[in-house]
Amino acid sequence: MTRCLELPIFFRCVNRCLFCSSDMRAAGAHVLSLKEIDVVLRKMKRRGFTHVTFTGGEPTLHPQFIGALQAAKALGYRTQVVTNGSALAIARLRKRALPLLDELCVSIHGHNAKLHDGLTQNPKSFSRIRKTLAGVRGPALIVNTVVNRLNVSSLPAIAEFVCGQRGVKQFWVSGLIPEGEGLRNYEQLAVPYKEILKNVPRLAATAARRGVAIRFFAIPLCTLGEYRAFNSALYKNPSAAVSRSGKVLANGLPMPKAVKTARCKGCVLRTSCPGIWEPYKRLFGDSELKAVKA
């Protein structure tokens, strides 16, 4: 099984997403140097890691972004970048980066400029994503949408837009993570799972029609019913993350606390499902959970 490393290299961004889970206020101007990146990549390679995802902030804005990709490929890593598509809209950077990338994960939160730009608080973000998508050749293209109160009613239209883009292999529908801006704005932006779940049959049908794999992230397995096979938790590879200090967090990704409730007792999915976020439970309760029996 592939062992995956998540490596945040640059905690700045041109967007100011209302739900951003990267706490850039706390991170300040943190930049991982190319030497520090190389040290971590070598250390984790010796530990058996073979896949690296560069994150941020916005990793493509790192002044030595290409150097980081080159270092990873020289060590034999499969590479992924999680991006808002801003810098890769620039053809000369895209031309250098794409041959060094195996996977590109682009964040798209609306099917048009009004919705997407409203959520990112950047009036140019949607147009830049369109340029990036039009120019991507080579790496597997993944799109992630964070569902919140402002875009949940547009999920079918977002799915049509995303799955209709050339080269998209996976469409990730992600619940709101209570961290960073996502925590600060949680009460204003979080939606009950049922508001997401009523769209799931249509989203799955759209993805299937377009030949795109759909994944649901940060949504409890039990709530997905017959669609639980599409939950990302079932596809998770062993992973580790690196903190802003460069320290390797060997016990998995640093995430806000998820909890199991009394409704999870006896559920056969307990070992696969992380449960629900504590802020979600405080806001909406746990009545949507239903233990799956053997």
Domain count, the chain: 1
In angstroms, rounded to a whole number, what is the distance separating the alpha carbons of residues 148 and 195?
10
Domain assignment of residue 263, yes or no: no
In 3D space, the residue among 27, 9, 129 whose CA is nearest the CA of residue 69 turns out to be 9
Give the CATH number of the domain where residue 140 resides.
Answer: 3.20.20.70
Domain assignment of residue 268, yes or no: no
pTM of the model: 0.92
Determine contact, residues 65/42, Cβ cutoff 8 Å. no
For 252-268, what is each residue's pLDDT tens digit?
444 567 899 999 999 99
Strand ranges (DSSP E) for the chain?
Answer: 4-10, 51-56, 78-83, 103-107, 140-146, 168-174, 213-217, 239-242, 248-249, 258-259, 276-277
In angstroms, rounded to a whole number, what is the distance separating the alpha carbons of residues 170 and 78?
17
- Check pLDDT > 60 for residue 215: yes
Q: Which domain holds residue 156?
A: 4-255
Domain assignment of residue 278, yes or no: no
Domain assignment of residue 288, yes or no: no
Q: How confident is the model at residue 233, as a pLDDT? A: 81
Domain assignment of residue 79, yes or no: yes
The half-sphere exposure of 215 on its side-chain side, counting CA atoms within 13 A, is 17
In angstroms, rounded to a whole number, what is the distance separating the alpha carbons of residues 102 and 99?
8
For 144-201, what is each residue's pLDDT tens digit?
999 999 999 999 999 999 999 999 999 999 999 998 899 999 999 999 999 999 999 9
Domain assignment of residue 235, yes or no: yes
Domain assignment of residue 16, yes or no: yes
Q: What share of the chain is helix, strand, coil (3-state, %, to 5)?
A: 40, 20, 40
Phi, psi (5° rounding) for residue 213?
-80, 135
For 114-151, what is each residue's pLDDT tens digit?
999 999 999 999 999 999 999 999 999 999 999 999 99
In angstroms, rounded to a whole number, what is the distance separating the alpha carbons of residues 172 and 202?
14
Domain assignment of residue 285, yes or no: no
